[in-house]
Amino acid sequence: MLPVSVRRRAGPERANINAAKRMTSIPSPSSRTARYADDRALASMLSAYIVCATIWLLFATAVGVLLALKFAWPELLSNSPALTFGRLRPIHTNGTFYAWASPALIGLALYVAARSSGTRLYSTKLAWLTLLLLNLAALAGTITLALGFNDGDQEYREWLWWIRVILASGLITAAWNLIATVARREGKDIYLSNWYTIGGTLWTIIIVIVALLPWYQHGLGQVAVQGYYMHNAVGMWFTPLALGVFYYALPKLMNRPIYSYSLGIFAFWTNLAFYPLLGAHHFLFSPLPWWLQTTAIVCSVAMLVPVWGGSANFLLTMRGRPERLRRTPAAFILVGVLGYLLSSTQGTVEAFRSLQRVWHLTNFTVGHSHLTMYGFITFAIWGGIYALLPRATGKDPNNLLMGIHFWLATVGVLIYVVALSVGGTVQGLDWIRGAPFIESVTDMAPYWLWRSVGGVLMFLSHMLFAWNVWTMTYARAGVAGAVAAPAVAGA
Amino acid sequence: MNKLLAIAGGATLLYAVLAVLMGVIPGIELSRVPPGPGVGPLTALEARGREVYVSEGCAYCHTQQVRPLPLDEVFGRPSAPGDYAYATPQLLGSERTGPDLSNIGARQSSEIWQYIHLYDPRAVVPQSIMPSFRWLFEVTDEAPQGLEPVPVPKPYAPAQGVVIPGPDARALVAYLLSLKQAALPGAHGDSAARAATTAAAATSMAATPATPAAPAATAAASSVFDAAEGAKLFAANCAACHGAQGAGVPGVFPSLHANPAVAASDPSEHIGAVLHGVHGKSIAGVTYAAQMPAFGPMLSDRQIAAIIDHERTSWGNHAPLVTAQDVAAARAKR
């Protein structure tokens, strides 16, 4: 039986964790019908976010597979400008970032904010508006990129400025809703997840605005802003939101509070202190000022503090309950935590100048970005969806499909990352030994082929996931007759 | 409510300060970097070409930053801050699936080569995985007045008609050919920032000491012909036009098999061609319109000698060898 249907029970709990306790306790009695309506509204809001995000996931990763195949067959679908590599690549990256991961994480964050605060969502209407704005931006961004409107090939901000204004308004409405919901909480404490999700959303509004204003973005100045932007948009947005999911879903799935609440708070502040400073490590050896590059390297090392602290916190929460890890969405979270630990540590190592000499500008970086955005973020989202969506809608996913989804995605991303890490190293060593450039291209051929194999497995897993999302949301309730579930709110 | 305000407000304020510190202030400072010597704005056509470069996403596979590292020397001198004064949006790039283009206008100055390569990269570089950009060209029965058709080699050319570069192709090639690194004053450049960069880079790479190739400084090196070095340099610098086996492309890029300049006992024409480039040369009754770049500013005397010796001893050629001193002498003459 799935743990999602494990009913709340009075297990042993740490006395010092009030907030964690509160989220597993039944909210103060109010009108039962009103609560039922609130739960329904929350469930349909979350369903819509996850369904939209999943459609975008299918689209953006299908594009990803096509891109991967073009490395082996460059003439594949090359006669239409909209289907060439240079136009599809930003469609893939922006699609996975802002159309899949962002709405999924915001939907989960809104749900967590309401549930962990023991209240209803501040405004369901506002949540729908956020979703509309995010989808509008993604649609406009995808179409304009396909038509060749690219705002300067600046990674992850290729959408035209007015589309990014729509994205920013989506974020602002989300932040407003999150804050106002947490403001309605019953107790005094703010559950840790909300620190991360509210912080992440507010920071990202700043990131998007800094990236939009043009006055300090000429020539090399734009290089500095780009170094800041491309890394903060990942690490101050997706990371805190995904950690917010961990901090809420993991205690639920493990049926025990988070190992150390204060370690979570410590990681929050250290992440905030170090992460914003490390963006320039994307431009080591460039003409950017040397002090900027060195600061970035130092802070990349300092990031080990919140990363290892946070990861240890999650792993210790999971320790000693293998039966729960084996058969549950917690397996997704376990991979997500390991992805967080490995990819962030890898990021630190990559920032050293000695290793940048080999890996910078090679496909190693692409392997790294998939370990983070997929091995960490996407697995965290899946863990969160499988853990929380059935609780909201009362409809369980198909257990077998969930298992196949898990293994296809895990094996797929493993092949993907190993192939590009080894291949990227070969590529870098080719350059160092002074081989003619084209040799670094031909040497990559087998690794690019393996990357496609991994990518196809990942894509297949998304189709199973999509089916499960359907089962958990709009499919007619199965034999479980699960519509009754909202009554066990918070369970 | 107070706690929420403290956490959300405090974290946001702290973040805003850091964002200004690491994003906005460096942005303001570096936006003011003056253009380096010889760095000027683009013409209208080149600027249009830069827009095509951006909308086709060229920057996802091609960098425009030469690092002060030995492995980047093949692409030109290390990039200096002043190089980017007119480069907005910046196109430094983050991945090098294809070669760096900072100096492509000097390294591959042939307009004809650029057109053929854009029309179908595999027509000139068989192993290339770059997409073809055929839609930037038109295929017509006859070239309109004043426009030369692109001499696409047979197997890659359309069955009917001639290939004419469209306006975007012409703009893009004009932009690519404008990408020439301006010479820095002094052998190693005197920009303070760059000096610091190079010095620090060298200390952090103790394993492979940086040896910036100042052409004249290496001239006195060994005069023994290094066959492997010659083959490698030929593949990197010459094979794109003359072919990996030196056979060229008939009527477009001359073959080096039984080529009079290569076969001649007197190497001065051969050395001159590599040092200073060639344009409009007639060989065996065929006039070649494509421009051969001058490799003198890009390669050392030793490297040029190695290439020439490779050509003079390959594909059935048996001409006398040249030395780095010969190249240095030819360089001094002009």
pLDDT digits (tens, 9 = 90+) for B78-109: 999 999 999 999 999 999 999 999 999 998 88
Residue A229 vs residue A328, higher pLDDT? A229
| Per-residue pLDDT band at B281 (split at 50, 70, 90) | confident
Among candidates A237, A165, A166, which has minimal Cα distance to A203?
A: A237
Query: What does the alpha-carbon distance between residue B12 and residue A179 come to, in Å, rounded to a whole number?
Result: 13
Is residue A173 pLDDT above 60, yes or no?
yes
CA A99 remoteness from chain centre = 11
Q: Give Cα separations from A410 to A363, A404, A419, B238 (angstroms).
A: 20, 10, 14, 45
Is residue A84 pLDDT above 90, yes or no?
yes
Chain A residues near residue B118 by CB distance under 8 angstroms? none
Counting the structural domains of chain B, the total is 2
CATH number, residue B234: 1.10.760.10
Any chain B CB within 8 A of the CB of A226? yes
Residue A409 carries which DSSP code?
H
The answer to whether A256 and A16 have CB atoms below 8 angstroms apart is: no
Among candidates B234, B210, B204, which has minimal Cα distance to B295?
A: B234
Query: What does the alpha-carbon distance between residue A381 and residue A374 come to, in Å, rounded to a whole number?
Result: 10
Query: What does the alpha-carbon distance between residue A385 and residue A369 come to, in Å, rounded to a whole number?
Result: 22
Query: What does the alpha-carbon distance between residue A286 and residue B84 come to, in Å, rounded to a whole number?
Result: 11
Quick one: B42 and B165 in the same domain?
Answer: yes
User: Mean pLDDT across the stretch A476-486?
Assistant: 49
Closest-CA residue of chain B to A358? B71
Residue B139, strand partner residues? B163
List phi, psi (to 5°) of B282: -105, 125
Task: Give me the pLDDT at residue A411, please.
Answer: 98
Task: Give me the pLDDT at residue A258, please.
Answer: 95
Quick one: B176 and B236 in the same domain?
Answer: no
Tokens encoding B83: 């190089």
Highest mean pLDDT among A89-93, B235-239, B302-306: A89-93
Per-residue pLDDT reduced to its tens digit, A373-421: 999 999 999 999 999 999 999 999 999 999 999 999 999 999 999 999 9
- List the 267-306 stretch of A: residues with Cβ below 8 A of B: 268, 272-273, 276-277, 279-280, 282-283, 285-290, 292, 295
Quick one: B175 and B37 in the same domain?
Answer: yes
Across the interface, do B204 and A353 touch by the CB < 8 Å criterion?
A: yes
Query: What does the alpha-carbon distance between residue B41 and residue B214 come to, in Å, rounded to a whole number?
Result: 28
Task: Indicate the pairing of strand B137-140 with strand B162-165.
Answer: antiparallel
Half-sphere exposure of residue B80: CA atoms within 13 angstroms, side-chain side: 25
Among candidates B20, B197, B94, which has minimal Cα distance to A350?
A: B94
The answer to whether A491 and A7 have CB atoms below 8 angstroms apart is: yes
Closest-CA residue of chain B to A192? B7
Q: Give Cα separations from B9 to A177, A430, B282 (angstroms).
A: 16, 50, 75
List phi, psi (to 5°) of B278: -140, 150
Task: Give me the pLDDT at residue A184, please.
Answer: 94
List phi, psi (to 5°) of B251: 80, -10
CA B225 remoteness from chain centre = 26
The answer to whether A357 and B206 have CB atoms below 8 angstroms apart is: no
Any chain A CB within 8 A of the CB of B4? yes
Vertex B321, ends B319 and B325: CA angle to 5°?
145
Mean pLDDT, chain A, as a whole number?
90
Domain residues for the domain of B60 are 30-181
User: Mean pLDDT across the stretch B115-139?
Assistant: 95
The answer to whether A350 and A368 have CB atoms below 8 angstroms apart is: yes
The answer to whether B62 and B101 have CB atoms below 8 angstroms apart is: yes
Residue B124, min C-alpha distance to chain A (Å): 12
Residues in CB range of A14: below 8 A, 6 or more apart: A20, A257
In a domain, B10, yes or no: no
Residue type for position A488: V
Tokens encoding A4: 């999602």
In a domain, B79, yes or no: yes
Give residue for tokens 């990819």: A343
Chain A residues near residue B127 by CB distance under 8 angstroms? 438, 441-442
In a domain, B285, yes or no: yes
Any chain A CB within 8 A of the CB of B67? yes
| Per-residue pLDDT band at A14 (split at 50, 70, 90) | very low
Q: Residues A51-488: name the CATH superfamily.
A: Cytochrome c oxidase-like, subunit I domain (1.20.210.10)
Q: Which of B4, B97, B196 sits opposite A182 (nearest CB)?
A: B4
Across the interface, do A85 and B57 touch by the CB < 8 Å criterion?
A: yes
Residue A6 carries which DSSP code?
P
Domain map (residue ranges) of chain A: 51-488
Any chain A CB within 8 A of the CB of B47? no
Query: What does the alpha-carbon distance between residue A327 and residue A6 come to, in Å, rounded to a whole number?
Result: 12
In a domain, B192, yes or no: no
Task: Give me the pLDDT at residue B236, please.
Answer: 85
Query: What does the alpha-carbon distance between residue A368 and residue A350 come to, in Å, rounded to a whole number?
Result: 9
Per-residue pLDDT reduced to its tens digit, A185-195: 988 899 999 99
Mean pLDDT, chain B, as a whole number?
85
Vertex B66, ends B63 and B67: CA angle to 5°?
120
Residue A321, min C-alpha distance to chain B (Å): 33
| Per-residue pLDDT band at A36 (split at 50, 70, 90) | confident
E strands along B107-262, which residues? 137-140, 162-165
Report percent pLDDT > 90 for chain B.
53
Residue A324, min C-alpha distance to chain B (Å): 34
Residue A7 vs residue B247, higher pLDDT? B247
Task: Give me the pLDDT at residue B241, please.
Answer: 87
Among candidates B230, B221, B215, B222, which has minimal Cα distance to B307?
A: B230
Cis before B89 (ω within 30): yes
Tokens encoding A158: 């290729």
Whats the size of chain B, residue-wise?
Answer: 334
Query: What does the alpha-carbon distance between residue B174 and residue B114 come to, in Å, rounded to a whole number?
Result: 10
Quick one: B177 and B229 in the same domain?
Answer: no
User: Mean pLDDT across the stretch A454-464?
Assistant: 98
User: Mean pLDDT across the stretch B204-216?
Assistant: 40
Across the interface, do A221 and B16 touch by the CB < 8 Å criterion?
A: no
Task: Give me the pLDDT at residue B186, please.
Answer: 61
Tokens encoding B35: 């253009």
Helix (H) or strand (E) holding B286: strand B286-287
Quick one: B166 and B246 in the same domain?
Answer: no
Across the interface, do A74 and B129 touch by the CB < 8 Å criterion?
A: yes
User: Mean pLDDT across the stretch A103-129?
Assistant: 97
Any chain A CB within 8 A of the CB of B96? yes
- List the 175-204 stretch of A: residues with Cβ below 8 A of B: 179, 182-183, 188-190, 195, 198-199, 202-203
Any chain A CB within 8 A of the CB of B106? no
Residues in CB range of A403: below 8 A, 6 or more apart: none
Task: Give me the pLDDT at residue A239, please.
Answer: 97
Task: Give me the pLDDT at residue B166, please.
Answer: 95
Quick one: B223 and B315 in the same domain?
Answer: yes
Any chain B CB within 8 A of the CB of A76? no
- List the 255-314 stretch of B: residues with Cβ below 8 A of A: none
Query: What does the alpha-carbon distance between residue A343 and residue A365 come to, in Å, rounded to a whole number?
Result: 11
| Measured distance between the N- and C-terminal CA atoms of chain B, rounded to whole angstroms | 80
The answer to whether B111 and B187 have CB atoms below 8 angstroms apart is: no
Per-residue pLDDT reduced to its tens digit, B163-201: 999 999 999 999 999 999 988 876 443 333 433 444 444
Across the interface, do B131 and A74 touch by the CB < 8 Å criterion?
A: yes
Task: Give me the pLDDT at residue B224, please.
Answer: 58
E strands along B189-266, which residues? none
Residue B77, min C-alpha distance to chain A (Å): 12
Chain A residues near residue B74 by CB distance under 8 angstroms? 434, 437
Residue B163, strand partner residues? B139, B150
Across the interface, do B60 and A223 touch by the CB < 8 Å criterion?
A: no
Cβ atoms within 10 Å of B154's Cβ, excluding its own: 9
Across the interface, do B27 and A221 touch by the CB < 8 Å criterion?
A: yes
Query: What does the alpha-carbon distance between residue B144 and residue B137 come to, in Å, rounded to a whole number?
Result: 13
User: Mean pLDDT across the stretch B7-23?
Assistant: 94
Q: Which of B21, B56, B65 sits opposite A286 (nearest CB)?
A: B65
User: Mean pLDDT across the stretch B1-27?
Assistant: 92
List phi, psi (to 5°) of B92: -65, -35
Closest-CA residue of chain A to B27? A221
In a domain, B264, yes or no: yes
Residue A424, min C-alpha distance to chain B (Å): 10
Query: What does the alpha-carbon distance between residue A108 and residue A100 come to, in Å, rounded to a whole number?
Result: 12
Task: Give me the pLDDT at residue A30, please.
Answer: 56
Quick one: B251 and B326 in the same domain?
Answer: yes
Any chain A CB within 8 A of the CB of B211? no
Give residue for tokens 């929350």: A42
Any chain B CB within 8 A of the CB of A483? no
Across the interface, do A220 and B131 touch by the CB < 8 Å criterion?
A: no
Burial label for A338, CB within 10 Å (0-12, 13-18, 19+), is middle
In a domain, B107, yes or no: yes
Q: Which of A150, A221, A286 sits opposite B31 (nearest CB)?
A: A221
E strands along A101-207, which residues? none
Domain boundary among B127, B157, B181: B181
| 3-state secondary structure string across A360-400 | CCCCHHHHHHHHHHHHHHHHHHHHHHHHHHHHHHCCCCCHH
Query: What does the alpha-carbon distance between residue A310 and residue A316 come to, in Å, rounded to a whole number?
Result: 10
Tokens encoding A472: 């958990």
Per-residue pLDDT reduced to its tens digit, A263-307: 999 999 999 999 999 888 888 888 888 888 999 999 999 999 999
List phi, psi (to 5°) of B283: -130, 125
Residue B26, min C-alpha distance to chain A (Å): 6
Report percent pLDDT > 90 for chain A.
82
Query: What does the alpha-carbon distance between residue B313 and residue A175 come to, in Å, rounded to a whole number?
Result: 71
Is residue A27 pLDDT above 90, yes or no?
no
Is residue A62 pLDDT above 50, yes or no?
yes
Chain B residues near residue A432 by CB distance under 8 angstroms? 70-71, 208
Across the interface, do A219 and B87 touch by the CB < 8 Å criterion?
A: yes
Task: Give me the pLDDT at residue B21, please.
Answer: 92
Cβ atoms within 10 Å of A267's Cβ, excluding its own: 24
Residue B283, min C-alpha distance to chain A (Å): 28
Per-residue pLDDT reduced to its tens digit, A299-347: 999 999 999 999 999 999 999 888 888 867 999 999 999 999 999 999 9
Least confident of A14-18, A422-426, B90-94: A14-18
Across the interface, do A438 and B127 touch by the CB < 8 Å criterion?
A: yes
Query: What does the alpha-carbon distance between residue A392 and residue A387 come to, in Å, rounded to a whole number?
Result: 10
Residue A84 carries which DSSP code?
S
Is residue A128 pLDDT above 70, yes or no?
yes
Residue A72, min C-alpha distance to chain B (Å): 7
- List the 125-154 stretch of B: residues with Cβ below 8 A of A: 125, 127-135
Task: Give me the pLDDT at residue B280, please.
Answer: 84
Residue A12, strand partner residues? none
Query: What does the alpha-carbon distance between residue B138 and residue B134 come to, in Å, rounded to a whole number?
Result: 8
Tokens encoding A350: 């990559």
Is residue A7 pLDDT above 80, yes or no?
no
Residue B291, min C-alpha distance to chain A (Å): 22
Query: What does the alpha-carbon distance between residue A160 and residue A212 come to, in Å, rounded to a whole number?
Result: 10
